[in-house]
Amino acid sequence: MLTASEENYLKAIFHLAGKSKRPVSTNALASALQTKPASATDMIQRLSKKGLVSYHKYKGVTPTSGGNKLALQVIRKHRLWEVFLVQKLRFNWDEVHEVAEQLEHVESEQLIEQLDKFLGYPKYDPHGDPIPGADGSMAPLPSTTLAMLQPGDKCRVICARDSSSDFLLFLDKLHISLGAAIEVLDKFEYDGSFSIRVDEALPITLSSKAAENIYVEKT
Amino acid sequence: MLTASEENYLKAIFHLAGKSKRPVSTNALASALQTKPASATDMIQRLSKKGLVSYHKYKGVTPTSGGNKLALQVIRKHRLWEVFLVQKLRFNWDEVHEVAEQLEHVESEQLIEQLDKFLGYPKYDPHGDPIPGADGSMAPLPSTTLAMLQPGDKCRVICARDSSSDFLLFLDKLHISLGAAIEVLDKFEYDGSFSIRVDEALPITLSSKAAENIYVEKT
DNA sequence: TTTTATTTTTAGTCTTATCTAATTTTATTA
DNA sequence: TAATAAAATTAGATAAGACTAAAAATAAAA
Ligand SMILES: [Mn+2]
Ligand SMILES: [Mn+2]
Ligand SMILES: [Mn+2]
Ligand SMILES: [Mn+2]
């Protein structure tokens, strides 16, 4: 088992390496974790001994396939907790990170699987980032906005594209929350506005500007 | 701020000292935490320096008023998480402790207040232990069983008195879960059995033996 | 009231995770 | 290419939290 610190480093290496798995420099890692390069080197060597990262002195570090898998599981936990905090505990979009950063280290297979179920197996976190499955698989980044839908289409809200607090406050006023089920009733060509139904409530009107800033997945 | 280890020790001292605040011996503390007496002494001295416990060499240790307050806050978090695990994530009564033991150390005022709200401000945990309020106040131990109620009475399920897995499985079959709202419809004097309604569902019959083993609070 | 047993504390060691300061390697520039 | 700057590593220190073994204090028994 990994310590919280090891998990944080592994996750940071995973993120910094990106899709192309380019080597992560010691300085970049240290600065991402708000620590010193010497500490990063220490931890890199420890993770390397455990076979979780591939490391060549002065040449940077990348996750191994084993490290990759573990990093994805930590990210899975982090993002599921973020969904919980926003959808169930009514945290704001920008208040969840710190807390999820702690919760992600709680160790219990059962906990995370039941949480996933409780949340309805969400595919995206409140920032629109895909949630890895138990097997490490991930949905593609969200690309459909509410504005792309046609009357009769149904969808679920993933996240806001424009995550300014103004916009989020606006969504809150309309009771459009993360994970809300939306049905497109009508689209008015005149100004591109929509008539929609949110979570079985009475129909409301939404401007094209707002619709373009809401990422959804069709259901 | 306290480390997880400090919180665990403080909580154990609080529990072992009991209501009468009798001094806790080093051996008792070590054995409660499954560690060695030398480690317990170490930690006792650390907590003493922080003013959280009152300590006299060879004479045992008790929480100070400050330590008491902090211990109650950790217990509050522990028990609220236990309620969450059982009521929301469908954990069994006896599966929650380990996980709550980890979750209790997550640090966020907002998290615990929102969780409390989300759970409907429960007064008891799944083991029937009262949950301290944010101010440290606690409800008395549960004393009312379902069997004590009369037709027309309404209540909420606190916990099982007999927490054998047989009985818990039986309750599960009847869809009587922790926190369930129960209405007593009728009481049959012939055998002491009850007709009750659980969470607005169709009426069911409950034996006197079962009713005597369910602790409730009247609503 | 000595002697013996138990409990508790102290002394010294280990691991994890951090830091600063010094050194080494790599990259840049003249 | 040689000098300099930047990045990375190593050396050495510290703190938390655990351990074992030894010493000291207290409790129980003879
Ligand atoms: Mn973290
Ligand atoms: Mn996120
Ligand atoms: Mn704990
Ligand atoms: Mn409990």
Partner B, chain A 159-198, Cβ-Cβ below 8 Å: none
DSSP string, chain A: ---HHHHHHHHHHHHHHTTTTPPBPHHHHHHHTTS-HHHHHHHHHHHHHTTSEEE-TTS-EEE-HHHHHHHHHHHHHHHHHHHIIIIIS---TTTSHHHHHHHTT---HHHHHHHHHHTT--SB-TTSPBPP-TTS--PPPP--BGGG--TT-EEEEEEESS--HHHHHHHHHTT--TT-EEEEEEEETTTTEEEEEETT---EEE-HHHHHTEEEEE-
**pLDDT above 90 coverage of chain B, percent:** 94
Confidence band for B5, pLDDT divided at 50, 70 and 90: very high
pLDDT at B50 over 90: yes
Q: Enumerate the residues of chain B whose CB falls inside 8 A of the CB of residue A90.
A: 114
Are B151 and B187 contacting, i.e. CB atoms less than 8 angstroms apart? yes
pLDDT recorded at residue A23: 96
pLDDT recorded at residue B186: 96
* Partner residue opposite A88 with nearest CB, options B91, B99, B118: B118
* Ranges of residues in chain A whose predicted pLDDT is under 70: none
pLDDT recorded at residue A185: 97
pLDDT at B28 over 90: yes
Confidence band for B71, pLDDT divided at 50, 70 and 90: very high
Confidence band for B19, pLDDT divided at 50, 70 and 90: very high
Residue of least CA–C1' distance to D20: B38
Chain segment B112-130, per-residue pLDDT in tens: 999 999 999 999 999 999 9
What average pLDDT does this structure show over B100-108? 97
Contact B106 A99 (CB under 8 A): yes
Q: Enumerate the residues of chain A whose CB falls inside 8 A of the CB of residue B86.
A: none
CA(B180)–C1'(C17) in Å? 46
User: What is the nearest CA distance from A99 to chain B, expressed in angstroms?
Assistant: 7
pLDDT recorded at residue B94: 82
pLDDT recorded at residue B145: 97
Quote the ligand 3 centre to A206 CA distance (angstroms): 48
Q: Enumerate the residues of chain B whose CB falls inside 8 A of the CB of residue A115.
A: 89
pLDDT recorded at residue A93: 82
The answer to whether B4-63 and B146-218 have equal CATH topology is: no
Chain segment B167-218, per-residue pLDDT in tens: 988 999 999 999 999 999 999 999 999 999 999 999 999 999 999 999 999 9
Q: By CA distance, what is B90's nearest residue in A?
A: A114
Domain ranges of chain B: 4-63, 146-218
CA(A157)–C1'(C4) in Å? 76
Class of domain A4-63: mainly alpha
Q: By CA distance, what is B88's nearest residue in A?
A: A118
Class of domain A146-218: mainly beta
